[in-house]
Structure 1
Amino acid sequence: MMAMLPLMLTAIIVIALAILTARIMNRHGNRKGKYSYSRRVRFLFSGYMAVLLICVVLDTVHPVNTVEGWKKVDTEELDKESSDLYDAALAGEIAHVDSKFLREKWSFDYNGPQLDVALVEDDYVNISVFVERKKSNDGKIEAVFYQTRSSVNGMEITDYTNPPSLEMAKDELFLRNPKISKFEFAEFTNVFSVKQFTGENFFSHHSEFSGDQSILYMRIPRDLELIDKTGINLNYVE
């Protein structure tokens, strides 16, 4: 009810101005034109008010900022999840992270003294890579990929994102970008008749994306030397 008050007050002002305009036009017009001017004003004003009322009704019933079947999330909560995951990886406590963020696991047998880590086709990846050295040379490289939740305009899209792939080829370990997911949205917005009273920008449009925290955590044999060819830097956990 409070939200409708400014609109009601504006409508009253518009009605008053329309009546005043009609009277002025009747007073200064000739006798032949009095009726036509007054009728024209009333016709235009009535039509405009009808359009305005229809727009107000539609604005109250159309879906706002929701997509059927998609869950709304708190972006501040998502930001905290991302920060907590990064801090856990940095401290070498990735095992304590909630398993719901675990997206993929790999294990490779490798006994060589050094290993190149590269990107497939030199693509850019938005992934933080952490490396933990084991206490022994067990001949195994273990890797896990963690990813926190993400959203678009307050709607969670985590289930529609894909993990990267990790491939071993001779003396090279390749990191490949996740498969791209494409999203198409149709958005309802207030029309001109409503925006002129609510103060909204007629041409404003923006989408809010809350990015996930993506971390590849590797555990390697104690004496294995990694040659970083990714350009994204390997963070060694002490």
Structure 2
Amino acid sequence: MNMLMMFLPILIILLLIAGMGTLMVRASRRRRVSPKKWRRMIIGYIIILLLAAILSYSVLPENAEVVKTLSSNEMKQIESEQMKWMEAAHSGKLKDLEGVYTSKKSWSFPYDDSKLDITYLGEGAAYVMIFVEEISKGDDVIEAVHYTGNVFIDGLDMTEKKSSAQLELKGNILSLKAPDLASVNITKFSNGFPFQQFSGKKNGLFSSERPSMGAGRDFILLKVPEGVEVNGHTNYVRAE
């Protein structure tokens, strides 16, 4: 039933176009066509175009969201800023994250042990980097935040659709699981082929004018009390 409702507007448009075409063919076979009849045919054609534009939106799925399309330069700027931050972090410098990476989820665990072991659960967890920052020992608490880079699909920013990593603390073992895969359906309107052919602009889905895909890096910023020994694949950073 859903498939029928999806294609129903298209069928109606095709029937309207076929009916209009039939009338125009019949009129062309006559020797004389009055201006009044031509005016009716033109008005009918305009009505068909308006109906087609209105009905096309009924094909969209429920709860659809409009996502802003970024230009190639905007995407490169965002990726450049994130790369600079990542290079600084690998050299031990913790720069400001505001406006650079997106925070997905945060955790807080009471902790009074002197050692912390990190384990990875499932495939992909090892690709989530962990940066460790030591904080004053005033609070016996471990704080963690999952940050992610922007996810682009043909210029559409899908970062908000991305799932969060999972952290679980049992004893002195902190288990990390990579974010689950997210599923999205994309519908994009573009100019028709005749317009693109003569204008030279190709702005359809996965056009060559911008990178098709771009997935930002995931990492955990782990704040531990000073003196806690962290065992695992980590990088220590210090705020500038």
Q: Structure 1 length normalisation: TM-score?
A: 0.56
Are residues 209 and 83 of structure 1, via their aligned partners in 2, closer, same or farther at CA, if it must alter by over 3 Å?
same
2:150 aligns to what SS in structure 1? coil
- Paired with 1:68 and 1:144, the residues of 2 have a C-alpha distance of 27
**Contact 2:114–2:229 (CA under 8 A) maintained in structure 1:** yes
Partner-residue secondary structure (3-state), 2:164: coil
Matches within 5 A, 1:80-119: 80-87=80-87, 89-90=89-90, 91-94=92-95, 96-98=96-98, 101-119=102-120
User: C-alpha deviations, 1:142-200, integer Å up to 9, x for none?
Assistant: 112222322111111112112212111122101112121113345779769x87xx7x9
Instruction: Give the aligned partner of residue 16 of structure 1.
Output: none
On the 8 A contact 2:125/2:177 being kept in 1, the answer is no
CA contact (8 A) 1:129 1:235 kept: yes
Cα 1:142–1:182 change in 2 (3 A) is same
Equivalences for 1:15-164 in 2 at 5 Å?
A: 69-73=66-70, 74-87=74-87, 89-90=89-90, 91-94=92-95, 96-98=96-98, 101-121=102-122, 123-136=124-137, 138-164=139-165
Amino acid at match of 1:85: W
Cα distance in 2 between the residues matched to 1:78 and 1:164:
22
Question: In 2, are the aligned partners of 1:86 and 1:213 still within 8 Å (CA)?
Answer: no
Query: After superposition, what is the alpha-carbon deviation per residue over 1:130-152, rounded to whole angstroms, capped at 9, x for unaligned?
Result: 11122437421111222232211
Structure 1, unaligned runs of 5 or more: 1-60
Once the two structures are TM-superposed, the CA of residue 109 in structure 1 deviates from its matched residue by: 1.1
- Residue in 2 aligned with 1:182? 183
Between the aligned partners of 2:223 and 2:207, the Cα distance in structure 1 is 45
SS of 2:127's equivalent in the other structure is coil
Q: How much does 1:87 deviate?
A: 4.5
Q: Higher mean Cα deviation, 151-160 or 82-91?
A: 82-91
Label 1:189 to 1:175 Cα distance change in 2 as closer, same or farther (>3 A).
Answer: farther
Q: Contact conserved, 1:137 with 1:223, CA < 8 A, in 2?
A: no
Residue 4 (structure 1) aligns with: none
CA distance 1:81–1:127, change in 2 (3 Å): farther
One-letter code aligned to 1:160: K
1:217 to 204, 221, 226: 221
Quote the Cα distance in structure 2 between the aligned partners of 1:122 and 1:155: 27
8 Å Cα contact 1:142/1:218 also seen in 2: yes
Compute the displacement of 1:68 (Å).
7.2
Cα distance, 1:125 vs structure 2: 4.6
- Counting aligned pairs with the same residue, the percent is 20
Max Rg structure: 1
User: Secondary structure, in 3 states, of the residue corresponding to 1:80?
Assistant: helix
Q: Give the aligned length.
A: 166
Counterpart residue identity of residue 183, structure 2: K
Counterpart for residue 168 of structure 2: 167
Does the CA-based 8 Å contact 1:85-1:213 persist in structure 2? no
SS class of match (2:216): coil
Distance, in Å, in 1 between the alignment partners of 2:143 and 2:93 is 14
Equivalent position of 2:39 in the other structure:
none
Is the partner of 1:106 in helix, strand or coil? strand
Residue in structure 2 matched with residue 227 of structure 1 by the alignment: 231
- Report how far residue 213 of structure 1 moved: 3.3
Paired with 1:130 and 1:68, the residues of 2 have a C-alpha distance of 34
Residue 122 of structure 2: SS of its match in structure 1?
helix
CA RMSD, aligned part only?
3.7
